[in-house]
Structure 1
């Protein structure tokens, strides 16, 4: 709490002074969920401080019940001895600094002050509200486990520890954010991780000076790496699957978990990591290789299909005789480039509408969108059927990308190619291709490696 300009306060042996200080710092009277419980232990006054909703009631009741049996003549001389003899719980700590005490109380730890002790007994019997570890909607797998990360960081580390029972698995906990004091865990295999890369990540985390991680991992990612606005390719890979995170750990990568976030950040990341998905780990080598090649081809087509089509429509004499059927036969009422750009915007509009539509109304929305964006839009003369076909492929192909940010990065590259091709014909197309290649090649990961870096295990 010193960051807020408060003077450092040491714990007093007098309970009244400690209670007075905490009453001035904590809004005990104003906040209903900050509880102060007074009781007598061994003939001495004591005060319990905890957050309602974070404490296991059953465990706390048993601990308090055991305190009623302590006699005055049996009270030890210090808090450490008291905790060793009379606190029947596993996670117990002795705190002597109010900064640590306030942090623990606001994190859900129960802190006990006893008159005559110049220290506080911290009992970590907290529990956080959490949903079930069900399979995430985004990272689904045809085979393998059906569990997924949740918003509680301890549960997430436990799911990875369950899969890797190796003493080399290290999970370092730190705090980031002056106000939020968000727990951040850095997980790695000490015998497999790149030590230089790990040191770089640890140094960057230690240098972060932010007031809070209001958007959890996204805020942390922006604090770790100040990205260039003109390069949309993502610097980080995220996964909501503990099995994928465990596989990445065994490959020598670093996993960063942020409390209140149901996903793991994987470092370092290359573009080849971005196009991987959970199914690649479960299928046989040949099948996995085929899926990766298919995904790579589809990724290539999502960027270049519509720009190449537009280029050929601007230069129909380039089309070989056997491919003349791709030429637009109908009347073009609106220039092709505007048709494509309008459809790009319309597809994003439908995606946003689907995201914000209640599940019970999703089917009517799909029917209406299919009718309006399908036959009626062609018959009205706004769009040509060939443009609708290629844009339908592009919109569906975007969902083959397991990484949402990568899908939009490819979309921006496609729009760049389309605009340059429409404006400058083949010269613009060539320049656009060079810019796309440079955007990938000059992109650097957090560790300073190339975006095309491949580590062979």
Structure 2
């Protein structure tokens, strides 16, 4: 009974307080007419936080009360001081303007003439006002007005542009994305100076109000793809978005698959290259990793450096990555199957050597591989989490000491240490970290199949994996394109990286508008007349 009375009292109090407020059509509560009431309510809404800076002063011949509010650390303090506070104070004491500023026109005067800042807008409710303050803008409240002026002063402390840490190249640009969405968009615009490069902002997160931006090239991207991405993003209803991984889980096509279906990168040149192929980039404020959709399986083995070297070097390096992918996936499994079930496939001299090494080992080959693989994964994870100064040293020394000690103790054979080491090194050759993780997971599954049925188990699991890959889609695009389905004209940049003059058209399944990217017949040719022939004649 007491709980019901308390509930009714709270309900009546809430109704009375709501009736006192002025509601706007958008559902936001409007501002009060009196400046003191607005400031008092603002302090209550923000918990009287010390990082909310409020600067009050008077303006005009009628001494109209005005307040400038910004958040310390989120706003650029120099912009606030030089282009907002100083401008308002100069206008308030200027003899030519002090006579024309009154309570009736002070709001328009500040908005149109007083502020010397580029971005100025007006908000009419508390939601927009608080969001502007917490985003780093400066809000100006004027007594007698139920609107507020917002000046764009976002800045504060942020990490400077530096070289990417997860996608390092020998030849190519050294700049990488930062945690500022504005800086990231500017890095891409620096590379694509086209009016058709469109950016559509939105906010996701009921509490965090995280800034999200879609970027695409209007006359290249498929309009249906843009609409699909917008619909998936608009369906996200969550309280917080702290990293682009939050968005990736909500918009991916296949949830229960270890293979990534959305590409992420911290390189502006990689984003620019994918935009020119008709893909969409999704920027999330607070993270240097930008999402790219749609994606294919072969994109995870393509590095931006492939396009900066000559094509023959690019082909060789890319083939080496695919070889490393097969070694990382099948290396321990082939060894287990050959030692356990198919000894007749091993040359006699090598078989005798392997048998001599395994003479004192008490475990079967599968248990050996499992022990070493788990130890290697633990060392790798520990090396990542430890301080950078000692992480790599601990991983290398730990691997050497652990492997040598295990061999001397007779727990594993020397050949197994070699196989696991080569497999671990090969896994680092994959440019995309999320694809490398998927390969590491499937490696254990195929090891179980090899220990159970030998090469037959490996073949069966490989067919299941290939069938799964062929069934995946990324925003409607087949994951194994352009091999399944096979598209002849797109083979120039699938497994191999053919010369630049073959890149006449964009990928057919991704871009269906403006598919031509260069003229035909651009293959270089020697001059018709050799240099020096004219001098001899």
Q: Which is greater in Rg?
A: 2
Q: Per-residue displacement from partner, 1:360-386 (whole Å, max 9, x unpaired)?
A: 334652453144233322121111111
Check 1:316–1:12 CA distance in 2 against 1; reply closer, same or farther (3 A cut).
closer
* Aligned positions of 1:440-455 closer than 5 A: 440-445=469-474, 447-454=475-482
Q: 2:202 aligns with which of 174, 186, 191?
A: 174
Q: Which runs of 5+ in 2 are unaligned?
A: 1-17, 93-97, 491-505, 507-537
The number of residue pairs the alignment matches comes to 448
Go from structure 1 to structure 2 and tell me whether the alpha carbon gap of 1:113 and 1:241 turns closer, same or farther (over 3 Å shift).
same
Where in structure 1 do 4 or more consecutive aligned residues deviate above 6 Å? Answer: none
In the TM superposition, what are the counterparts of 1:274-423 in structure 2 within 5 Å? Answer: 274-319=300-345, 321=347, 324-325=350-351, 327-330=354-357, 331=359, 332-362=361-391, 364-366=393-395, 368-423=397-452
Assess if the C-alpha contact under 8 Å between 1:153 and 1:257 holds in 2. Answer: yes
Q: Is residue 269 of structure 1 aligned with residue 290 of structure 2? A: no
Within the candidate set 233, 242, 248, 2:259 is matched to 233
How far apart, CA to CA, are the structure 2 residues paired with 1:386 and 1:283?
37
Deviation at 1:142, TM superposition (A): 0.6
Q: How many angstroms does 1:174 deviate by?
A: 0.6
Supply the distance in 2 between the matched residues of 1:328 and 1:237 (Cα, whole angstroms): 45
**Secondary structure of the structure 2 residue equivalent to 1:45:** strand
In structure 1, how many angstroms separate the alpha carbons of the residues matched to 2:313 and 2:124?
59
Find the counterpart in structure 2 of residue 74 from structure 1. Answer: 101
Q: Given that residues 111 and 123 in structure 1 are in contact (C-alpha distance below 8 angstroms), is that contact kept between their aligned partners in structure 2?
A: yes
1:248 to 268, 274, 297: 274
**Matched-pair contact (CA < 8 Å) for 1:78–1:118:** no
- Partner of 2:227 in structure 1? 199
Query: Matches of 1:148 and 1:268 in 2, distance apart?
Result: 22
Secondary structure, counterpart of 2:362 in structure 1: coil
Query: Aligned to 2:325, what secondary structure does the other structure show?
Result: helix
How far apart are residue 11 of structure 1 and its match?
A: 2.3
Runs of 5+ consecutive residues of structure 1 not aligned to the other structure: none
Cα RMSD, aligned residues only: 2.1
Q: Distance in 1 between matches of 2:244 and 2:76?
A: 28
8 Å CA contact 1:79, 1:118 repeated in 2 = no
CA distance in 2, matches of 1:245, 1:264: 8
User: Equivalent residue of 2:371, what SS?
Assistant: helix
Contact in 1 for aligned 2:264/2:289 (Cα 8 Å) = yes
Post-superposition Cα deviations, 1:38-88, rounded to whole Å, max 9, x if no partner, equal: 111221011222101122233222332232333153246263443112111
Matched, 1:155 2:176: no
Match of 1:65 in 2: 86
CA distance in 1, matches of 2:314, 2:400: 37
Which TM-score applies when normalising by structure 2?
A: 0.79
C-alpha deviation, 1:219, in angstroms: 1.0
Q: Which SS does the other structure have where 1:93 is aligned?
A: strand
